[in-house]
Amino acid sequence: MRIITEFEGSSLLFERPHRIITCDSPQQLPLCLASAEQALQKGYFLAGFLSYEAGYALEPCLTSLCHGDFPLLSLGVFSAPSWLPAVSKSALFDVTGLRPDISKEQYFRDIGLIRGHILDGDVYQVTFCLKYLFDVRGSHYALYRSLLRRQPVPYAAYLETAFGTVLSLSPELFVCKKGSHLRTRPMKGSWPREGLISALLGGIRLHFDAKNRAENLMITDLLRNDLGRIGRGVNVPRLFEVSGYRTIFQMTSTVDAQVPQNIPLSELLRALFPSGSVTGAPKVEAMKIIRRIEPGPRKVYTGAIGWISPQRDMMFNVPIRTLLVKDGHGEMGVGGGIVWDSTPEGEWAESQWKSRFLREVST
């Protein structure tokens, strides 16, 4: 296992783990989290990923929906990280055959099913995802560096694991904990950045767009409630912030709280994981609908990637804009929040421009 995190301007390299904690079933998860706690108590760092499906294992009423052949959790136990070494410029890569895993017609039908659940009052919002499949040859790390140069993001990560290579070009923070201060920054709301007018005005249009504000506010309220389960002094210091990237504008809000400095990892995850930005609201009902409608497991996509120090400081991203590659084949999830005002045509178009950063390097 080899892990690189490039979070908020700090690049860390984790390699040569003493051991790797891997969870393959819901029944193993408590024991794996206990092993992680023991490693922290002995002064080790942890780094790795949680799959989205771990969220089903953490919620007792959803455990029966947790199935698949990809690990729920894989955390390396490391002595300490080092700085990222110099980047090689000579390696080559080739990405071909980029295509969605479901037809446009099926996608439209799925959006209709979700809007039916909203009409029935089951949920207010569901984050629905499809996957783009592709083939890749050459250096995975060169592909990662190329994508990151084209669209710099604040929470990028690169993982080499026994289960595949993960290339995460994520702009979204899941959780940052320093001492007893815990911060989440859910991302909900997007706008394309194509052409001069969009580049100049797209961020302003997103900031004041009623639909995107409503989506963002629902998820911000969900995160406030989640943080209230484990912390105090919950507050929202920033609401409806817009960040511009090369191909897209994104809206985030920030939610802070004070939590016990040594809060058990299992307690924190049960309250917060997965992020409400990738499920919808209410979270449990949205996750049930996602499991019924999406054709397969999300795996590391929309889970969490990051590290934990022996002092219980931590930083994890939400792995959106994230590629999983193994044996020459790759997949990348793309999602959006579906509300009553959503249209199949609009959501399909959104999936197209959210995947643009990968399409630009594919042939």
List, in order of start, the domains of the chain with CATH numbers. Answer: 2-88+95-359 (3.60.120.10)
Question: How far apart are alpha carbons 260 and 177 in whole angstroms?
Answer: 10
Q: Partners of 256 in the beta sheet?
A: 183, 235
Q: Partners of 170 in the beta sheet?
A: 155
Q: Annotated catalytic residue: which of 6, 53, 59, 172?
A: 172
Contact yes or no for 151/245 (Cβ under 8 A): yes
pLDDT, average across residues 130-137: 97
SS3 label, residue 72: coil
The mean predicted confidence, pLDDT, of the chain is: 95
Evaluate if residue 88 carries a pLDDT over 90. Answer: no
Identify the burial level of 35 via C-beta atoms within 10 angstroms of its C-beta, where 0-12 means exposed, 13-18 middle and 19 or more buried. middle
Residue 89 pLDDT grade (very low, low, confident, very high; cuts 50, 70, 90): low
Q: Partners of 181 in the beta sheet?
A: 178, 258
Q: What pLDDT is attached to residue 11? A: 94
Cβ contacts of residue 336 below 8 Å, gap of 6+? 127, 128, 190, 342, 347, 350, 351, 354
Q: Which residue has the higher pLDDT, 107 or 200?
A: 107
Lowest-pLDDT range of 84-88, 100-104, 254-258, 339-343: 84-88
CA-derived radius of gyration, the chain: 19
Q: What pLDDT is attached to residue 86? A: 59
Q: Name the helix (H) or strand (E) containing 198.
A: helix 195-208
Contact yes or no for 282/61 (Cβ under 8 A): no
- For residue range 213-262, list pLDDT tens digits in order: 999 999 999 999 999 999 999 999 999 999 998 889 999 999 999 999 99
Question: How far apart are alpha carbons 319 and 300 in whole angstroms?
Answer: 7
Is 299 catalytic? The answer is no
Evaluate if residue 293 carries a pLDDT over 80. Answer: yes
Q: Annotated catalytic residue: which of 53, 131, 177, 188?
A: 188
Question: How far apart are alpha carbons 12 and 314 in whole angstroms?
Answer: 13
Question: How far apart are alpha carbons 336 and 354 in whole angstroms?
Answer: 9
Is 15 catalytic? The answer is no
Contact yes or no for 320/309 (Cβ under 8 A): no
SS3 label, residue 348: helix
Residue 289 pLDDT grade (very low, low, confident, very high; cuts 50, 70, 90): very high
Question: How far apart are alpha carbons 134 and 354 in whole angstroms?
Answer: 16
Contact yes or no for 253/186 (Cβ under 8 A): yes
Query: Between the CA of residue 363 and those of 9, 139, 152, 329, what are the distances in Å?
Result: 31, 16, 22, 15
pLDDT, average across residues 127-140: 97
CA 110 to chain CA centroid, nearest Å = 22
